[in-house]
């Protein structure tokens, strides 16, 4: 259903970004992968995906903490029918001890990057007569937890910006929405399980249910495939009138 479209996904050489990129490629879109590194394996990943899904896949190195890089990513992509702003980092500390450089980096990567990419992509979408902006926010774009001030400010910010972009494009064949994942099983999260098992002397199942997923009523992780499927849905014709809103993929977290 997405053949002939090009999707640019920021922060997509691992985790959710990569999972979303794979689902979008599976649906037939050409894909531009991105991260700040420029390693052989990043370009090899693009080549493998191209082969697996028979679509065009390129990798463009660009640092989403830098305004010029964000804008160059879209310019270098050449076309951008589907923009998926996913790059994100986290830092956990009480606000009176929160390092200023961490605050600045989180706001830059998790929020401002989407401003810059969207600003360059929208004119391309208008020229093409179709477009989708999909921002990967978080349950923390709708609700808060202590010690994550920068992350929560950035994620609430990107939910707000998604609504503004939706209003600015409301009478055009362009939509903008935010996906709000709960806890997602990425390699990063998976890697924390063995240590936590040791620390609490708990089984894998108990660590997942009673430590990691305390706030996720389903007691199951969301998967990167489910997030990819949600992005493909938002890019579909069925979602043409869905704009300026959030879709939670959080096992009931924000219903609590
Ligand atoms: P991850 O660390 O696996 O992936 C983050 C991606 O961003 C990587 O590809 C990384 O290379 C890239 N990245 C980091 N800094 C960058 C920079 N300066 N420039 C370009 N790329 C950069 O993490 P993830 O869990 O896949 O997170 C992806 C997004 O999903 C983030 O925005 C995160 O906030 C959000 N999210 C994750 C969860 C979860 O439980 N994992 C839950 C809700 C929201």
Protein residue whose Cα sits closest to atom 34 of ligand 1: 88
Q: What percent of the chain has pLDDT over 90?
A: 96
Q: Report CA(171)–ligand 1 centroid distance (Å).
A: 32
Residue 90 counted as domain residue:
yes
User: Per-residue pLDDT averaged across 32-61, rounded?
Assistant: 98
Residue 196 counted as domain residue:
yes
How many separate domains does the chain show? 2
- Clarify whether residues 123 and 213 are in a common domain: no
Q: What is the 3-state secondary structure (H, E, C) of the chain?
A: CCCCCEEEECCCCCHHHHHHHHHHHHCCCEEEEEECCCCHHHHHHHHHHHHHHCCCEEEEECCCCCHHHHHHHHHHHCCCCEEEECCCCCCCCCHHHCCHHHHHHHHHHHHHHHHHHHHHHHHHHHHHCCEEEEEECCHHHCCCCCCCHHHHHHHHHHHHHHHHHHHHCCCCCEEEEEEEECCECCHHHHHHHHHHHHHHCCCHHHHHHHHHCCCCCCCCCECHHHHHHHHHHHHCHHHCCCCCCEEEECCCHHHC
- Clarify whether residues 87 and 147 are in a common domain: yes
Please give the order of strands across the beta sheet that includes 57-61.
Answer: 57-61, 30-35, 6-9, 82-85, 131-136, 174-181, 246-249
pTM over 0.90: yes
pLDDT at 157: 99
- Clarify whether residues 207 and 166 are in a common domain: no
Which of 2-16, 63-77, 128-142, 202-216 shows the lowest mean pLDDT across its residues?
202-216
User: In the predicted model, what is the mean pLDDT of the chain?
Assistant: 97
User: Per-residue pLDDT averaged across 125-144, rounded?
Assistant: 98
Pull the structure tokens for residue 83.
Answer: 């923009």
Residue 158 counted as domain residue:
yes
Residue 77 counted as domain residue:
yes
- Clarify whether residues 71 and 173 are in a common domain: yes
Q: Report CA(231)–ligand 1 centroid distance (Å).
A: 16
pLDDT at 179 over 90: yes
User: Per-residue pLDDT averaged across 141-145, rounded?
Assistant: 96
- Clarify whether residues 131 and 160 are in a common domain: yes
Catalytic residue annotation? 151
Residue burial 177-201, b: 16+ Cβ < 10 Å; e: rest = bbbbbbbbbbeeeeeebeeebeeee
Protein residue whose Cα sits closest to atom 3 of ligand 1: 15
pLDDT at 187: 85
pLDDT tens by residue, 235-249: 999 999 999 999 999
CATH number of the domain encompassing residue 228? 3.40.50.720
- Clarify whether residues 205 and 247 are in a common domain: no
Q: Which atom of ligand 1 is nearest to the CA of 109?
A: 18
Find the domain containing 155 and state its range.
6-184+222-255
Q: Report CA(92)–ligand 1 centroid distance (Å).
A: 15
- Clarify whether residues 136 and 243 are in a common domain: yes
Q: Which atom of ligand 1 is nearest to the CA of 181?
A: 43
Q: Report CA(151)–ligand 1 centroid distance (Å).
A: 12
pLDDT at 192: 85
- Clarify whether residues 132 and 198 are in a common domain: no
Protein residue whose Cα sits closest to atom 20 of ligand 1: 35
pLDDT tens by residue, 62-101: 999 999 999 999 999 999 999 999 999 999 999 999 999 9
Residue 1 counted as domain residue:
no
pLDDT at 191: 86
- Clarify whether residues 13 and 78 are in a common domain: yes
Comparing 212 with 110, the larger pLDDT belongs to: 110
- Clarify whether residues 196 and 128 are in a common domain: no
73 by Cβ neighbours in 10 Å (0-12 / 13-18 / 19+) ranks as buried
- Clarify whether residues 207 and 133 are in a common domain: no
**Ligand 1 binding residues, C-beta < 6 A:** 11-17, 35-36, 63-65, 86-89, 109-110, 136, 138, 181, 183-184, 186, 188-189
- Clarify whether residues 23 and 86 are in a common domain: yes
Q: Which atom of ligand 1 is nearest to the CA of 151?
A: 34
pLDDT at 189: 87
């Amino acid at each position: 259903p997405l053949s002939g479209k090009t999707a640019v996904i920021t922060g997509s050489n691992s985790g959710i970004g990569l999972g979303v990129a794979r689902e979008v490629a599976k649906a037939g879109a050409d894909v531009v992968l991105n991260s700040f590194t420029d390693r052989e394996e990043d370009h090899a990943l693009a080549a493998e995906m191209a082969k697996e899904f028979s679509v065009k896949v390129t990798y463009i190195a660009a640092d989403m903490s830098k305004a010029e890089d964000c804008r160059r990513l879209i310019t270098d992509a050449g076309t951008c029918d589907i923009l998926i702003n996913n790059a994100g980092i986290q830092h956990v500390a009480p606000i009176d001890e929160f390092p200023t450089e961490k605050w600045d980096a989180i706001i830059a990567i998790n929020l401002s990057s989407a401003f810059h990419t969207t600003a360059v992509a929208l004119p391309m979408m208008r020229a093409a007569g179709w477009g989708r902006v999909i921002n990967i926010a978080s349950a923390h774009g709708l609700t808060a937890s202590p010690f994550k001030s920068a992350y929560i400010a950035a994620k609430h910010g990107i939910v707000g910006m998604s609504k503004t972009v939706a209003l600015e494009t409301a009478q055009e064949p362009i939509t903008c929405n935010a996906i709000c994942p709960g806890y997602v099983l990425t390699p990063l999260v998976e890697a924390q399980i063995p240590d936590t098992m040791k620390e609490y002397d708990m089984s894998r199942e108990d660590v997942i249910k009673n430590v990691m997923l305390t706030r996720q009523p389903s007691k199951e992780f969301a998967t990167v495939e489910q997030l990819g499927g949600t992005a493909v849905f938002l890019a579909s014709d069925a979602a043409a009138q869905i704009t300026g809103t959030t879709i939670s993929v959080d096992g009931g977290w924000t219903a609590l």
